[in-house]
Amino acid sequence: MFKLREGVSFLLLVTSLGAVSESRAQTDESADALEVVIVTATRTNTDRNTMAQGVTVLDDNSIARSDLQHSNQLFNRVSGAWISRGNGQESLVSLRSPVLTGAGACGAFLTAEDGIALRAPGFCNVNQLFDANLIQAGSVEVLKGPAMAVFGSNAMHGVINVTTRDATNTTPRLSLQSGSRDYYRAMLSTASDKLALNANVTTYGGYQDASGYEQQKVTLRYDETLGDWQMTAMLAANNLNQETAGYIQDGKGAYKNDASRRVNRNPEAYRDAQSTRAYARFQRMMGDHSVTITPYWRDNRMEFLQHYLPWKSRERNAHTSLGLQASAEGSASTMNYLLGVDIDSTEGTLFEDQAEGFSPNQPAGVHYDYSVDALNSAVFGQLSKELSDSVTLKAGARLERTEYDYQTREPAGSVCAPTASNCRFYRPESGDESFSNLSYNLATLWSLGNGTAYLRHASGFRAPQATELFRLQSGQTSTDIDSEEMSSVELGYRYQSDRFATDVAIYTMDKDNVIFQDRNRQTINGAKTSHQGLEIDLSWFIRDGLRAELAANIADHQYDSDIQLLGSSGSIKGNEIDTAPTNSGSARLIFDTVLASKPITSELEFVWVGDYFIDPNNQHSYAGHELLNLRTQWQATPAVTTTLSITNLLDTGYAERADFGFGNYRYFVGEPRSAVLSFSIAL
C-alpha cells in the first residue's frame, strides 16, 4: 500500500496546479512547446516523445540552476530517483528501487558518459557518480526501469547518462565560488571552433570533525569532420582526495543533536580515487543508413579505508578497459531499425589488507590479492514500426555474455589460523566464470494530439560483480550464483501544451535471482523482490516570470520470498525493503524579478524523503525529512552573474540515510544550513 505523509499530501494538492518536469522546462522568453532530444536510448539524437519509457532530461540550464555541490542536489529533480548523499562526494543510488548496499549494489544501475559506462561491467562502485563532471555537463538523461537493448548488464533499474558539451554549447566563462565551512570551487569553460574545455577544482573543509575533500575534474571534447565522417573525441579525468567521516550512532534520533552530528567516529578514514576516460566516435551516412563506430578506453583506481566495518580493512582496486561500440541505424521497408555490437575487455585487480588484528576471525595482514581479466560482449537490435498514423510498435532484444578469468596472488583458502572459529575471509581457487543473458523489450506507443501514451513490457539483468564472486567470506569456498533478472510492465502518459505539461508513469517490476548475503555471510542467489510505483512530473507556466515544478514518487518495495537475509530474524517475506521511502520528491517555485534594473531569478525548492524501515525485519524506522532550499541568480552586467545558493534553509536536523546494524541506529549526517556565493565572468 502506498502511504503519504500529511505534509506531502498537502504539497501534492497545492502543486497539482503545476510544477515542473525538468525535461519539459521552457525558457522565460517563450512558453512554446520544446522538442526534447535524448541520446541515451539509441546512441543518436531521438525525440523524447517517441520513447515508450519513463525518462527525464535535465538540460544545461537545469544543471546550472541547481548549482550542485553534490549529485543528490541535481537528482532531486528526477521523479523516482533518490541519490543518498554520503560523506564528502560519496553516494548511493536509488532509481525505481530501494537504496541498495553491498558488493553488487551498484550493479543494478548503469551510469554512463556519452553512452559509455563510467566503469566496466562487473567492476562497478557504489560511489561512481563522482567520476562524472555533472556541474559542467551538456545534459543528464535518466532512463527508468530496464533499459533499451543498447544497454545490457547493470541497466536493470535504470540508466544515468551524462552528456558532454561540444564547442557550440560551451560559453567561455570563469566562475569562482565560496561557501560555508571552507567550501571553494573554481570553474573554467572555454572553446574554439571545434574544441571545448570544461574544468573545475573544488575544496571543502567538511562539517564533521576531520572530514573534507579536494577534487579536480576536466573534460576535453573535440568535434571534427573527416571526409564523410563526423568525429567526436573526448578525454575526461577526475581526482578525489577525501577525508571521510563515518556514520554516527549515539542512539535513536542522534542526527537531531548538534554535538552528535559533528562527531567523526572514524577520523582515520579516507578515500582516494582517480579515473580517466577517452573515446573517439565516428559517424557517417552510407546510403540511407547511419553507421557509428566508437572505440574507447577507461582507467579507474581507488584506495579507501572500510571504516564502516569494525576491523577497518584497507582496499585498493583498479581496472583498465578497452572497448568498442558499433551500430547501424536506418529504415528497411516500413520499419526503422538499430543493430549493434558491443565489446569490453577489462583487466582488474583488488587488494585488501588490515593493519592490526581485530580478532582471530579478522586477522592482520593480506585478506585478498587477485586479478580478473573480463570480457563482455553483446549483440542487440531495436525495431520500430508505424502501424498507423497514431500507433507505433517497438521491440528490441540483447544477447550478452560476460566472462571472468580470476587469478589469486595469495594462497587459496582461509586467511585465518586453523584455530579461528569462523574466519571472515576466504580466497577461492583460481578459475573461470561465465554468464550469458538475454533481455528484451516490447512496447506500443499512441500519439494523442498533444499527448503520448505508451505501454511497455521489458526485462533486464545484471551479471554478478567480480567482488561477489571472488571476495568470499565465512568459509564459502566458491559461489554458485547466476545473474539477477528483472521483469517490468510500465504504463505512461505525456502531455504538453503551451503552458502546461505532465508526465505520469505507473510501473510494476519483479526481480528474481537476487544476489544477497545470508545469515552465514555467504553470497547466494534465490531472493525475490517486487517493486511498484507511481511517478508524477508536472509543469505550469503560471504567468510571465512565474512557474512551478514538481517531481514526485510514490513507491512500494517488498521482499517477495522466504529468505534468511543477513541481519534478519525469521521470515521477511512481505516486509518492506529497508531504506525504501514510501514517497520522495521535490517541488519548486521559480520567479523572475528585477534588481537595480538587472534581471534576477530565484528558486524556492521543497525536498522531501518519506519514512522508511532501516532493517529487513521492519522493527526500526526513520521518520523521513523535509528541507527547503533557496537559490538566486542576478545578472549584474551582461558579462557578470552572481549566484547565491542556500541549502537546508531552516537548518533542519536530519539524516541523509539511516540504517540499523550491529545492534545500533546508524545515521549518515545531513548537513546544516549552508550558503555558497559565486561570481561568474564571461570571457
Report pLDDT digits (tens) over 16-52: 433 333 443 433 433 334 567 777 666 767 777 778 8
Res 41: pLDDT: 61
In the structure grid, which three cell numbers stand for residue 642, read together?
A: 552572481
In a domain, 623, yes or no: no
Selection from 576, 463, 439 nearest residue 513 by Cα = 463
* Torsions phi, psi for 11 (to 5 deg): -60, -45
Q: How many domains does the chain have?
A: 1
Half-sphere exposure of 469 (CA within 13 A, CB side): 27
pLDDT of residue 35: 64
25 or 625, which is more confident: 625
Return d(Cα 561, Cα 574) in angstroms, integer. 8
CATH number at residue 470: 2.40.170.20
pLDDT tens-digit series, residues 429-462:
999 999 999 999 999 999 998 899 999 999 999 9
Q: Please state, in angstroms and rounded to a whole number, the distance separating the CA atoms of residues 538 and 175.
A: 32
Task: Please report which confidence band the pLDDT of residue 14 belongs to, taking 50, 70 and 90 as the band edges.
Answer: very low
Between CA 282 and CA 288, with CA 287 as vertex, the angle to 5 degrees is 90
Strands 621-622, 598-609: pairing kind: unpaired
Grade residue 270 by pLDDT with cuts at 50, 70 and 90: very high
In a domain, 652, yes or no: no
Q: How confident is the model at residue 152 (pLDDT cuts 50, 70, 90)?
A: confident
Mean pLDDT of 292-303: 98
Domain that holds residue 174: 6-247+262-581
SS3 530: strand
Q: Among 45-59, 176-190, 407-421, 502-516, which is the least confidently predicted range?
A: 45-59
Q: What share of the chain is helix, strand, coil (3-state, %, to 5)?
A: 10, 55, 35
Instruction: State how beta strands 139-144 and 158-163 pair.
Output: antiparallel
Query: What contacts 449, CB < 8 A, 6 or more positions away?
Result: none
Domain membership of residue 600 (yes or no) is no
Please report, rounded to a whole number, the percentage of residues in the chain having pLDDT higher than 70: 93
* pLDDT band at 567; cut points 50, 70, 90: low
Query: Which of 132-141, 364-373, 516-525, 577-586 has the lowest average pLDDT?
Result: 516-525
Given a cut of 60, whether residue 311 has pLDDT beyond it is: yes
Cell of 215: 577534487
What is the structure's pLDDT at 9? 42
CA angle 437, 440, 443 (to 5 degrees): 170
Q: Is residue 78 part of a domain?
A: yes
**How high does pLDDT run on average in the chain?**
91
User: CA–CA separation, 544 vs 349, rounded Å?
Assistant: 57
Residues with Cβ within 8 Å of 344's Cβ and at least 6 positions away in sequence, in order, are: 117, 120, 121, 321, 322, 323, 374, 375, 376, 377
651 found inside a domain: no
Could you tell me the end-to-end alpha-carbon distance of the chain, in angstroms, rounded to an integer?
55
Taking the C-alpha atoms of residue 354 and residue 307, their distance in angstroms, rounded to an integer, is 11
Q: What distance lies between CA 47 and its chain's CA centroid?
A: 23
Query: Considering the domain boundaries, does residue 614 fall inside one?
Result: no
**Cα 28 from chain centroid (whole Å):** 29
Count the neighbouring beta carbons within 10 Å of the beta carbon of residue 124.
26
248 burial via Cβ count (<10 Å: 0-12, 13-18, 19+): buried
User: How far apart, in whole angstroms, are the C-alpha atoms of residue 122 and residue 565?
Assistant: 23
